[in-house]
Chains A and B, each alone.
Chain A
Amino acid sequence: MSKSTKNIVLISIIIFVASAVSLGVMAYQVKEQGNQLSSHVATLQAESAQVESYNKLKKISEETTEDRDLLQSYFLEKESNSIDFLNLVESLAPQAGVQLDTEGLDVLETGENGAKWIEVSFVFSASRERVQNFIKVLETLPYVLRLTSVEMDGMSASEWEARVTMQVQILDYDK
């Protein structure tokens, strides 16, 4: 080959290599940026899903405030609220015509799901009808409670005495 032909071939090879390298670099950059875009989009989607979930939760919380407060009122929020409960029962006793004494107050924790209960025993006496009625009154108190034992004895022909042990649940589900 002549010298000019060799020069042309050499220049062509150089240009070809340069073009190939630039093409490779551009292709690599395109791929890398595409991967970054995909990860950013996935992050944005997760964030928007979280925001939407938060908004839904907030809306449900605002709409159900009254119902949840009402449900909460059926529980004792803490152990100190048992005093109010005892005062309530003791105020009901004269209204129901029975003589009431409170025996014992304990805090129990059952193994079912770690629920806490206040266990309290009442002894009250009056006529049989009043005693039975007061037992029903205790059963229907607006609390989450359960009567664990009920004993009723006839002290005399006209006076009956009952001993009731009940458990009231302690729960504060907002915590």
Chain B
Amino acid sequence: MINKKEFSKIAKRIFHAKSSLQNPRIMNPSREWGIGLLIGFAFFIATAGWSAQTYLSNKNVGDITSDSSQDEVIVYRASMVEAALKAYEQRNQKHQQLLNKTYVAPPVIEEIVEEDTVDETSTSSENAEAVLPEQSLEVNAEEVSGAEEEPSEPTEPVEVAPDVLLSE
């Protein structure tokens, strides 16, 4: 029969017995150094790559270039303006021609004086609309306009000779 003391001894032997193969607790300095350096080098390479990528992406950010696409398009249709001005210039010329069409060059003063006296007695009837050489505008203007006597001086847009004559 096993005593209590013998039983406890056996138990201690069982639990406190070391295995035959023990874990190696040997440090290999070169191996440990190699692993550490490898990790450090990899970390360095990764950081360098990220820095290079950041630099290359932001290298041209500070360059201020005149991008034409950002410019506001200013449209001035010069050809349209020129065409409009030309059209109105022609219109103005035609206007002047129409006004001048009714005018005749002023004759010699003596003839005008003689013809004025003749015209003052003539009526304004268009039946007497014979082609007379020259007549003064002032006389006929008085006959035609009647009470509405407008000054015969030309206004700014109409260039009229000072002495204008009306041809019939």
Contacts and interface: CB of A to CB of B under 8 A. Distances in A.
B61 A96 contact: no
Most chain A beta-carbon neighbours within 10 Å: one of B70, B152, B154? B70
Contacts of B145: 93-94, 99
Given A67-B82, A95-B160, 8 more contacts: A45-B64, A91-B153, A92-B158, A94-B141, A95-B103, A98-B144, A140-B98, A142-B88
Interface stretch (B10-18, B89-97, B104-112): B89-97
Contact of A90 (B47, B65, B150): B150
- How extensive is the interface on chain B, given as a class? 35 or more
A137 to B, nearest CB: 5
A37 B76 CA distance: 36
A88 B101 CA distance: 18
Interface string A147-174: 0000000000111000000000000000
Contacts of B125: 158
Please provide the 4 A-B residue pairs with the shortest distance between their CB atoms, ordered closest to farther. A158-B126, A140-B95, A53-B72, A49-B70
A97 B158 contact: no
A97 B102 contact: yes
The listed residue with most A CB atoms (<10 A of its CB), out of B63, B158, B160, is: B158
Interface string A45-77: 110111011001100100010011011001000
B136 to A, nearest CB: 13
B74 A95 contact: no
Interface string B55-89: 00010011111110011101010100110110010
Contact of A142 (B81, B95, B148, B154): B95
Contacts of B121: none
A64 B81 contact: yes
A87 interface: yes
Nearest to B100: A95
B67 A37 contact: no
Nearest to A70: B85
B34 interface: no
Given A52-B66, A97-B102, A98-B144, A142 B157 contact: yes
Given A34-B58, A49-B72, A142-B88, A96 B155 contact: no
B91 A140 contact: yes
Contacts of B3: none
B129 A127 contact: yes
B144 A97 contact: yes
B64 A48 contact: yes
B102 A96 contact: yes
B22 interface: no
Contacts of A90: 150
6 contacts: A91-B155, A93-B150, A97-B166, A99-B148, A127-B126, A157-B126
Interface in B13-27: none
Contact of A57 (B62, B63, B74, B155): B74
